[in-house]
Structure 1
Amino acid sequence: MDDLSEDRELLPATRRALRHRIAVAQSEGRAPSVVAAVMRGGEVVWEGSRTSVEGHGPDGDVQYRIGSISKTFTAVLVMRLRDEGLLSLSDPLERHLPGTGVGAVTIAQLLSHTGGLAAETPGPWWERTPGELRPELADVLGDEPFKLAPGGRHHYSNPGYTLLGSLVEALRGKPWEEVLRAEVLEPLGLERTSGQPQAPHAGGWAVHPWADVMMPEPLEDLGLMAAAGQLWSTTRDLARFAAFLLRGDERVLSEDSVREMRTSAAPPEPGLAEIGYGLGMQLMSDGVRRLAGHSGSLPGFVAALWLSEGDDVAAVVLANCTSGLAAATVAADLVRIVADAEPAFPRPWRPLRESDPVALELCGPWYWGTSAQVVRLTADGSLLLAPVGGSGRTARFRSEPDGSWTGLSGYYAGETLRAVRREDGSVSHLDLASFVFTREPYDAQAPVPGGVNPQGWRGIG
C-alpha cells in the first residue's frame, strides 16, 4: 500500500489544536466570524469556524471577500499569456498596453511590485468608494504614478495589478473576470469564487477598537481595480486553489510555472518577516519553514492563504472584520500545527521507468576546481547538481533537444550545462556558465581555465 494514502484524516489532538487556534483568533480578534480550512496532500482535511452568533457557524461554502488574494489569480492569467508565447515577462508594458504613460515598466516588475508605482490610487480611498470614480487607467495612475525608480526596491502597488488586469483584457479581448472564469475558475472547479457576492455570503463589519460594538462596511464594486482585490471566495475553493499553486494543473499552468510564481523575484522591505515576493505571491519564513501565498483585506474582511511546499500543507483563514484578526498569522499557525504534529510521509522511492544513457553517463562525482560536486539523475528525468556535504550551490537542470541542460533553480537558473566530449566520444568535462567541472580535481587533460601546474599535486618540501 502507498503510505501517501494512509492517515489522510488528521489526528484528534491535531484537530483540537486547530479548533483552539481559531477560537483564540476569533475571541481575541473580536471577529464576528472566522472560517478556516487546511489542505494536505491535495485534499481538504480539516474545516472549522467560530462565530458571535450563538448556534450558528459558517462552513467552507460561505463566501467572504478575499481582497488581495485576487492578485494571485491575476498573476496566474498573466503567466498563462507568457506560457502561450503572447508576451515575455521582460517585455515593457507599452508593447502590449500602449498609452498608459508608465509603459517602460516591465510585466515582471508589475508582477513582483518592483515597478516603482504608487501603492494606492489618487483621490479618495479606492477600497471604500465606487469604481466608477476611476473610469480610466489615467484615473487609477494619476499625474504622478511613480514613487520610486522602476526595477529597484519592492514597493507594493495596487495600481500595478490594475494594469495587469487591463493587460489581460487587452490580449484576450474580454473582461478580466470573464477570462478568469473561463481559464482558471472553471477548470479548477472553483464554483464559489466570483466577482460579486453569491449567497450564502458573510457581511462585512467594522468593529469599534475600544468598544464591543460594530457597524456594517459599505460594499463597493471596484471597477478597474478589480484585478487587485475584487474577488469573493470560500475556504474550500481557496484550499483547492492552494493545491493548484503547489502542484500545477496542465489545464491552467504547469508545475514549473507555479513553482516560478513561488520563487523570490524581489527582496522584502527591511524589517519585514517576508523573505520576498514572487510573481503574484508573497513569501515568508516562520523560522522553520518557507511559506508562499497571499494575504488580503478590504473594508469588512481579512483573508490569508499560506502553503508549505516541503510539508505539502496549506491553510486558509477568512474573517468578516476590517481589522483586529491577523489572518496571515493565524493561517501560518495552522500550517505549523499540522506540519509539526503530523509530518508528511516522504514519497516512496521508485526507479526511473526508462533511464537516459546520456544522462546516466553524467552521474557521479565531479570537481569544480577542488570543490567536490555530485550529479544525480532524478526520477523526473532532471539532473541535480549539488556539493558533496550539502554546503554550496545546488541546482536542478532540465534536458533540452540539443543535448544540453537548462538550469531551473538556484545560482544556475537559466544557465546552460553542456557535456564536452573528446574525439572518441567520451565526456571530457562539463561546461556550466564558464565553469569547468572535471572528473578529477584540476584534471590536466581538461581545459581548466588558467591551466594546471605541470608538476601536479605535491606535498611541502
Structure 2
Amino acid sequence: MTEWGGVVMSSDEEREDAQLLAGTRRELWRRLAVGQSEGRAPSMVGAVVRDGRPVWLGLRGAVDGAVPHGDVQYRIGSLTKTFVAVLVMRLRDEGLLDLADPVGKHLKDTPVPDATIAQLLAHSAGLAAEARGPWWERTPGRLRPGPADLFGERPRRHPAGRRHHYSNPGYALLGALVERLRDGAHWGEVLRREVLEPLGMTRTTLDPVAPHAAGWAVHPWADVLLPEPAEDTGLMAPAGQLWSTATDLCRWAAFLSRGEERVLDASSVAEMRTPAVPAEGDWSTGYGLGMQLLRTDDGRVLAGHTGSMPGFLASLWVGADPRTDEGIAGLALANCTSGPAISGIAADLVRIVAEREPRIPAPWRPLAGPLDEELLALTGPWYWGASPYLLRLRADRELELGPASGGGRSSRFRPATDGSWTGLDGYYAGETLRAVRAGDGSVSHLDLGTFVFTRAPYGPSAPVPGGVDEGGWRTEG
C-alpha cells in the first residue's frame, strides 16, 4: 500500500483508505473508474478533502507507463482563474484597489478602461469570450505581445454588468493589473511568493515540472491518441496556464473552503463564493468573484472551477452554502482534451461522501462564559405582523431569527460594537437588527431594516407602522 499525506491510496492495485468506510471508498473508486473508462482518459486522478484534510486519493490509468501518483502534475486550465482572483482580492484587502474601480484607473492602454474589476472577476463586463488571433490555447503567447492585441475591433459583446459572459481575455487584464500594482513583478512570481509558498503548494507552477502527464487528444471514433501542444500562452496565461497536482489542489480546496490568514481571510474567500451576477439558463450554475457556482440536483451548492486546455481537463468543487456545507471538497484531473464529464465526476465525489458518511454533529454543550441576562430576555417568540418568529441566542452573542414553523425568511446575526446585530445570510444579509427600548429601558420591539417585530401579534400598544386598529382583534369580519 502507498501512503499519501497519511492516507492510503486507491488505484488499480491499491484500494484501501483507513479514513473512510469501505463502502464509501469503493463507491468513490467506482465513480473514478467509470469516469476514466467511459471518458476514455489515458489517466485520471481524483481526491476528496474533508474539514481541510485529504481523506481519499484515487488513481486510474497510466502516465509514462505507470499508475500516476498524487504529485504528478496535470495542467489545470481555468482553475488558474481562482488563483488570479485571490491575488486581486489580496490587493483589495490591502487597500490598493476597490472592486468598483474601472480597470483603466490602474491599467493604461486597455481597450475597455471602463470595465470594473468586479466585472472582470465575475465575467460580467460584457467582453469577448476569446482572444483575437489564432486559437490562443494552442499557439505561442508571443503572438499577443500587448493588452491591445487581446481584443479585436469589438472588444465588448454585451452591455457591462447586464449578464454573465465568460471572458478569458478579461483574466489576462487581471493578471496585468496584478503586475502593475505589484511594481512590475510577474504575476506568476507574485502568486508563488504570496499564495503558493504560504500554503505549501510546491508543485503548482507556470510550466510543467517532472513528473507530469503529457496531454492527449483521443480520437472520437477509435481508441487512438494524438499528442497535444503545451504552449506558454504569454499574456493569456492568467486565464489557464497553471500546472498542479492532486496533493497541491487538496491544499487549495482546503483554502477555498475556509481561507488562511497569511493569504486571504475566511470572509474574503466567502465573498468570492457568493453569486456576483445573475445565473444563466436554468439557474443551476452561477459565478462569484473568480469562482464558478454549481447547484446540484440534490440541492447542494458548490463553488470552485472547471478547467480545460489542449490535452487536459480539471475540476474542483467545495461547499459554498454554510447551511448545507459538510466540509467536503472533491477534485478530478485527466490528461485528455475531451471525453470525461470532469465537473460531474468531481461533484459526485463530494456527493458520495456526503450521502454515505454525513457529518456527525458536534456534541451539544451549553454556552461558555457568563450569561447575559438581557440577551436571554430577547429570546423567544416575536411577531412580524401576525406571523410568529423565534429568536434564539447562539454562541459568541450571535442571534438567529426565523419563522416559528414552515418556510420563510431566516437569518443569523453577528453582534456589532454599537449594540446592534448585522445579518450574515439569507434575506437579511447585511441588514441591521436593533432592540429598540422604551422610555423605562425595557425592550419595546425589534427593528430589522424597518420591519417591526413585537411581542404580541399587532398588540394595541405596539409601535406598528400604520397603527393598529383601536377595536383590536374580533370574531367577525
Q: TM-score, normalised by structure 1?
A: 0.93
Counterpart of 1:349 (choices 349, 364, 371) is 364
- Between the aligned partners of 1:382 and 1:141, the Cα distance in structure 2 is 49
Q: Which of 54, 75, 94 is the aligned partner of 2:85? A: 75
Q: Secondary structure at the match of 1:240?
A: helix
Q: What whole-Å deviation, never above 9, does each CA across 1:411-446 have from its counterpart, x for those lacking one? A: 222222222222222222222222112222223334
Contact persistence 1:34–1:318 (CA under 8 A): yes
- The residue type paired with residue 377 of structure 1 is L
- Alpha-carbon deviation of 1:271? 4.4
Q: Deviations over 1:135-175 (max 9, x none)?
A: 21111133211110011111111111112222222222222
Give yes or no for contact 1:366–1:374 (8 Å, CA) kept in 2. Answer: yes
Amino acid at match of 1:421: R
1:170 aligned residue (180, 184, 199):
180
User: What is the aligned partner in structure 2 of residue 187 from structure 1?
Assistant: 198
- 1:435–1:273 distance in 2 versus 1, CA, 3 Å: closer
Opposite residue 432 of structure 1, the aligned amino acid is L
Equivalences for residues 268-307 of structure 1 within 5 A: 268-271=279-282, 273-274=284-285, 276-288=286-298, 289-307=300-318
Amino acid aligned to 1:16: R
Q: Name which of 165, 179, 191 aligns with 1:155.
A: 165
2:439 aligns with: 423
Alpha-carbon shift at residue 268 of structure 1 (Å): 2.5
For the pair 1:324 / 2:334, whether they are aligned, the reply is no
The one of 348, 361, 385 aligned to 2:401:
385
> C-alpha distance in 2, partners of 1:389/1:210?
57
Distance 2:188 2:393 in 1: 43
- Is 1:315 aligned to 2:326, yes or no? no
Give the Å deviation of 1:330: 0.9
1:176–1:362 distance in 2 versus 1, CA, 3 Å: farther
TM-superposed CA distance for 1:93, in Å, is 2.2
In structure 2, C-alpha distance between the alignment counterparts of 1:356 and 1:227, rounded to whole Å: 51
Cα distance change of structure 1 residues 377 and 84 upon mapping to structure 2, 3 Å threshold = farther
Between 1:263-272 and 1:352-361, the stretch displaced more is: 352-361
Q: Deviations over 1:86-135 (max 9, x none)?
A: 33322322333344232222222222111111111111111111111112
Aligned to 2:349: 334
Query: 1:19: which partner in 2?
Result: 29
Alignment of 1:28-39 (within 5 A): 28-39=38-49
Maintained 8 Å contact 2:109/2:147: no
- The aligned counterpart of 2:274 is 263
Q: Distance in 2 between matches of 1:93 and 1:148?
A: 17
Which of 433-442 and 310-319 deviates more? Answer: 433-442
Deviation at 1:55, TM superposition (A): 6.6
How many residues matched?
A: 454
Cα deviation digits, residues 181-217 of structure 1 (max 9, x gap): 1221111111111111111111111111112111211
User: Quick one: which amino acid aligns to residue 45 of structure 1?
Assistant: V
- Structure 1 residues 241-284: Cα deviation after superposition (integer angstroms, max 9, x where no partner): 1111111212222222222222222232214742x111111111
Q: How far apart in 2 are the matches of 1:225 and 1:459?
A: 72
Change (3 A) 1:203 1:144: same
Partner of 2:392: 376
Question: Is contact 1:350-1:379 (8 Å) kept?
Answer: no
| Matching residue of 1:87 | 97
For residues 463 and 446 of structure 2, the distance between their equivalents in structure 1, rounded to whole angstroms, comes to: 10
Aligned to 1:400: 416
1:102 to 97, 112, 128: 112
Provide the rounded CA distance (Å) in 2 between the counterparts of 1:335 and 1:197.
Answer: 28
Q: Deviations over 1:56-94 (max 9, x none)?
A: 211111110000011111111222222223333223223
Shift of 1:321: 0.4
Counterpart residue number, 1:4? none
With over 3 angstroms needed to count, the CA separation of the structure-2 counterparts of 1:188 and 1:84, relative to structure 1, is: same
Query: In the alignment, what sits opposite 2:11?
Result: none
Partner of 1:110: helix, strand, or coil?
helix
1-structure distance, mates of 2:60, 2:259: 32
Separation (CA, whole Å) in 2 of partners of 1:11 and 1:142: 55
Separation in structure 2 between the aligned mates of residue 165 and residue 455 of structure 1, nearest angstrom = 67
Please give the secondary structure, in 2, of the residue aligned with 1:352: coil
Give the superposition deviation at 1:308. Answer: 2.9
Which residue, 133, 136, 142 being the options, matches 1:126? Answer: 136
Match of 1:366 among 382, 389, 397: 382
- Alpha-carbon shift at residue 359 of structure 1 (Å): 4.4
Partner of 1:232: 243
Q: Distance in 2 between matches of 1:268 and 1:62?
A: 35
Asked if structure 1 preserves the Cα contact closer than 8 Å seen for 2:109 and 2:148, the reply is: no
SS at match of 1:37: strand
1:449 deviation in Å? 1.4
Report the TM-score when normalising by structure 2: 0.90
Structure 1: how far apart are the matches of 2:398 and 2:98? 25
2:459 corresponds to 1:448: no
Alpha-carbon distance change, 165 to 408 in structure 1, aligned in 2, over 3 angstroms: farther
Question: Does the 8 Å contact 1:36/1:60 carry over to 2?
Answer: no
CA distance in 2, matches of 1:166, 1:360: 53
Comparing 308-317 with 216-225, greater Cα deviation is found at 308-317
- How far residue 21 of structure 1 moved from its aligned partner, in angstroms, is 1.6
* Amino acid corresponding to residue 326 of structure 2 in structure 1: D
8 Å CA contact retained: 2:63, 2:214: no
Deviates more, 1:264-273 or 1:406-415: 264-273
Task: Give the conservation status (yes or no) of the 8 Å contact 2:62–2:68.
Answer: no
The answer to which of 84-93 and 196-205 deviates more is 84-93
Contact 2:275 2:288 in 1 (8 A): yes
Find the residue that maps to 2:77 and give its secondary structure. coil
Distance change >3 Å, CA 298–CA 272, structure 1 → 2: farther
Distance in 1, matches of 2:52 and 2:102, equals 36
Cα displacement string for residues 310-347 of structure 1 (whole angstroms, at most 9, x for unaligned residues): 22211110010001111111111111121111112123
Mean alpha-carbon deviation: is it higher for 262-271 or for 47-56? Answer: 47-56
- Residue of 13, 32, 44 corresponding to 2:54: 44
